[in-house]
Amino acid sequence: MSLSRRIKSKARDLVGDQIDSLQRALGRKDKTYAGEFQALSNILNSLGSPKNFSFIDVGAGDGFNMSIAFPLFKYFGAHGLLLEPNQSQLNKAASLYEKKAGFSFSSEFLTPKNSRNILESAGFLNPLYIKVDIDSFDLDVIRSILAHSIRPKIYSVEINELFPPPVMFEVRYREDVPEFRSPLRGCSLQSAYELAGEYGYFLHSLAFNNAFFVSKEYLETHFKNSQLDPTTAYLEGFLRQGWHTLFPWDIEFTNWIESSSDDLNKIIRGLPEFNESYMELA
């Protein structure tokens, strides 16, 4: 981490809440990273800019920093279910939206086993949009939601950008797996794409490491020229977008990004962190 980044990080630890309050007072509405909200708003605008819809944010943080919830509320009047297992972060989110109608909060960690019950208990079985960003078995959570016939018009999932198409990589849910901190987390864009196709969604865009999928019911009527294949999406949404600047932590894995599928497969399988009992690689 550079000196400037360390200074910024230390300052946020000391006066983060005051900075956030000042930014909101000055009109800051979007603190998502790397064009995440812009990608979503493009889709929503193509759908006629719906208002007052419901959404689910899995991995919501404090509801402001790096959160899709705040701009959705500010620009579209949307209300959502914010799930964040970090109680301190969730408390900040609850405080931010406590007087806003339609918001719900949960500190439960969403898993494939409890996803239906949590969403049903909160009354969010028919959201227009779902976001999943938990840095672990993200795709398994999406899979469980879709398998329970909860079908948002749009959903996004954080992908592991270190696995270029056509490599398929996914961390599957397992109760006894510890917190993920290695680069072997989440899922590849190819794996997310394949799952989306199984449930009737197409890949609309990739904003660096956030892949956006839209129900195919809108493909012909609203998105005739917007369906992407994983290779094109990865090229346009990550490789050509100055990833070295916005994702400097990925530079040490440049060889992953530039390797052939076969070579990357060998690299990953040779890592001590790779565990076939809950990691799928193809």
Q: What six digits make up the tokens of 95?
A: 């405080």
Per-residue pLDDT tens for 74-120?
999 999 999 999 999 999 999 999 889 999 999 999 999 999 999 99
* CATH number for 226: 3.40.50.150
Is residue 240 exposed (0-12), middle (13-18) or buried (19+ Cβ within 10 Å)? exposed
Strands (E), the chain: 54-58, 79-83, 104-106, 129-132, 154-158, 169-171, 201-207, 210-215, 279-281
pLDDT digits (tens, 9 = 90+) for 28-75: 899 999 999 999 999 999 999 999 999 999 999 999 999 999 999 999
pLDDT at res. 7: 45
Residue pLDDT, tens place only, 137-156: 999 999 999 999 999 999 99
Q: Strand 104-106 and strand 129-132: pairing?
A: unpaired
Kindly state whether residue 23 falls inside one of the protein's structural domains: no
Structural domain includes residue 22: no
Structurally, the chain folds into a number of domains equal to 1
Determine, yes or no, domain membership for 6: no
Beta-bridged to residue 155, according to DSSP, are 130, 213
Domain that holds residue 111: 29-281
Residue 83, Cβ neighbours under 10 Å: how many?
26
Q: For residue 24, what pLDDT is reported?
A: 82
Residue 14 lies in a domain: no
Q: Which residue has the higher pLDDT, 38 or 16?
A: 38
Examine residue 3 and state whether it is found in any structural domain, yes or no: no
Residue 190 has pLDDT above 80, yes or no: yes
HEC states along 245-268?
HHCHHHHHHHHHHHCCHHHHHHHH
